[in-house]
Amino acid sequence: MRIALAAALLFVVLFFRLGAPTFWDPDEAHYAETSREMIASGDWWAPYYNAEPFFDKPVLFHQLQAAAMIVFGRTEFAARLVPALAALGLIGITAWFGASVVSLDVGVAAGLLLAASPGVFGLARFGILDTLFTLFLFGGAAAVAVAALRDQPRWQWAGYAGVALAILTKGPVALVLCGLAFGIAVMISADLRRRLLGLRWITGLILVVLATSPWFISMYLRFGQAFIDGYFLDENVRLFGASRFQNQPGIFFYVQILATGLLPWTGVLVGRLVDNVRLLIRKERLDGVEVLLWAWLAVVVGFFSLSSFKLDHYVFPAAPAACLLCARALPNHDDESRTTERAWSRVGLLLVGPVLAAVGLAAGYFVVLRLALPRAAILAPVAMATAGVALTASRRARREAPWIVAGALLVTYSVLLISVVPAVEQQKVVADVARLVGSRAGPDDRIASYRLNRWAPSFRFYVDRQTTILDEPEAATAFFAGSPSFYAVMLRQGYDELVARGAPLRIVAERDGLWITTGRVLWREFTPDARFVVVTKAK
């Protein structure tokens, strides 16, 4: 029964209807288009977007995504397959690490908690690199930790390989995060200091540099200072120190994201933290596994919290450690810490049921009274509320809490994919208007978008043609006046403004749709907040 539940959960979370929705902009379509242009150009070493060098991230994710597109076609499914498989690998590594350094029960519970977490459900189905980065980053760190904690030094070489792959996925930040986490652990624990410093770090660092430097050197030799400015300065140093974007979240943003993404287990993690602090106050030692997990969690959350630019998925590498800490706090799941302080962990476990029931009741209110969804959608809040009540009322049920929660979330995610996502998809119209442009435009027609903002990458992917991206009215007016034939997509408001400026435009198609991806699209009284128009040269 448990095996069947775990298999069903993995299938629904990672693969069920993986290719059904069109891209969620801007990042997902941007990455997919970059990978598709890699196939078209035959240049598998330097990423390009819209025929321009793309210095945002290293090349490995695009290479793997492009390979999936070659096998499965240039589709949404192929673009999302790499993150889905990476999430499967991450769940397996989390379970392996817990089983290797604590117990099989902890490993299984941690893997189950991670598989059922909202973060994995969201990111595994989103065609960006963060799931792959976390697989390599946490996988590398876990292998190094096993090498030290279990006196199995051969695992360190797999760890160094994982860090190298993480660098080729997202950049040198992988080395920074690993270095800080292990450095803090060494400073805190004398036992970890002895074990970790016994590894061959210098040799490992040399191997990492040798494995990763060819790509960075070749990009510099090919693009010169533009690569230094675009990648190292703009996308790393300046983005961390001084964001180019306004209205960035505050310093506690990632604490909130982690707390929300861990529901309904957030209270267990907080309880585990309080118990560990009480141990330290009594001058008792934490074991090495606990120190490493808290160091990892603190470094990931702390490092990205200090950045001036924040996106919610940046903190995802903290998720495996958080799930392992929660798994260690469960009753009869930690054979090495049964005598340690558990009072607040037990309080956190008691809160799992009420929290899940409260979420279910809140979701039920919206499904019944506010949202325009099929009747079957009520199954999701009913499943969560029922599981929450059972966990609240029964001590025996609490011993099976990970499996009961996983079952409730399996139903919830199934409902989301069957009922909610299609409802949102009906209002995402950019793919349709892009395909319309692609079918009408001749080989000599120029293609443009005007002030599509976050939808511009999606338009570029689905139109499957090089596109001129216009943001300023002066540039747009000049483009339309100077082009003998063209097709462009914009909002009706933008069309009216350009026509008033004398741009020679006429509308050939228009469609109401969603401008900002929001849950408001599911409200019963919702009306589309934007009108998209396809325009061509006025006769």
Q: 528: helix, coil or strand?
A: coil
**What DSSP string runs through 190-219?**
HHHHHHHHTS-HHHHHHHHHHHHHHHHHHH
CB 534 within 8 A of CB 433: yes
pLDDT in the model for residue 341: 67
Q: In what order do the strands lie in the sheet with 530-537?
A: 468-470, 446-450, 486-491, 530-537, 505-513
d(CA 432, CA 341): 58
- Helix, strand, coil in percent for the chain, rounding step 5: 70, 5, 25
Look up residue 120 and give its two tokens. Answer: 């994995």
Q: What is the pLDDT along the chain (539 residues), one digit of tens a residue?
A: 899 999 999 999 999 999 999 998 789 999 999 999 999 999 999 999 999 999 889 999 999 999 999 999 999 999 999 999 999 999 999 999 999 999 999 999 999 999 999 999 999 999 999 999 999 999 999 999 999 999 999 999 999 999 999 999 999 999 999 999 999 999 999 999 999 999 999 999 999 999 999 999 999 999 999 999 888 877 667 766 665 666 778 889 999 999 999 999 999 999 999 999 998 888 888 899 999 999 999 999 999 999 888 888 999 999 999 999 999 999 765 544 444 567 888 999 999 999 999 999 999 998 888 787 888 899 999 999 999 999 999 888 888 999 999 999 999 999 999 999 998 898 889 999 999 999 999 999 999 999 998 889 999 999 999 999 999 999 999 999 999 999 999 999 999 999 999 999 999 999 998 877 655 656 766 666 789 999 999 97
d(CA 301, CA 258): 8
d(CA 48, CA 29): 13
Q: Which residues touch 176 (CB under 8 Å, ≥6 apart)?
A: 303
State the CB neighbour count (10 A cutoff) for residue 370.
Answer: 13
d(CA 212, CA 301): 25
Global pTM value: 0.94
Place of tokens 């990632």: 254
pLDDT in the model for residue 338: 46
Beta strands (DSSP E) in 238-342 are none
